[in-house]
Amino acid sequence: MFKYYSTQMNTQHSNQQTRYKKLYPTHVPTSVLKKVAIAAGSSVISLVDPERGDMVAALGETTGKAALVKMLKQMKCSEEGRFILKERPIIDETIEGSKFSYDYLQRLPADTLGGAYYKFMSSHGFLASGRTPVKFVDDEELAYVMTRYRQVHDFFHVLSDLPTSVAGELGVKWLELTQTGLPMTALSGTFGMLNNRLTNKQRIEIITKLIPWALRCGKTCRPLMTVYFEKYMHEPIDEVRNKLLFEKAPVIN
Instruction: Provide the annotated binding site for Zn(2+).
Output: 153-154, 157, 169
Q: Which amino acid does the sequence have at 231?
A: K
Per-residue DSSP letters for 45-98?
A: HHHH-TT-HHHHHHHHHHH-HHHHHHHHHHHHTSHHHHHHHHH-----TTSTT-
Alpha-carbon span 76 to 185, nearest angstrom: 23
| Alpha carbon of residue 198 to chain centroid | 24
Written as one letter, the residue type at 113 is L
Residue positions forming the annotated binding site: 153-154, 157, 169
Whole-Å CA distances, 107 to 114, 118, 119: 9, 10, 11
- Considering only CA atoms, give the Rg of the chain: 20
- Convert 134-159 to b/e letters by CB count within 10 Å (16 or more is b): bbbbbbebbbbbbbbbbbbbbbbbbb
238 DSSP assignment: H
Beta pairing partners, 112:
236
Q: Which of 80, 118, 124, 120 is closest to 99 using CA atoms?
A: 118
CA-closest candidate to residue 167, choices 128, 132, 205, 111: 205
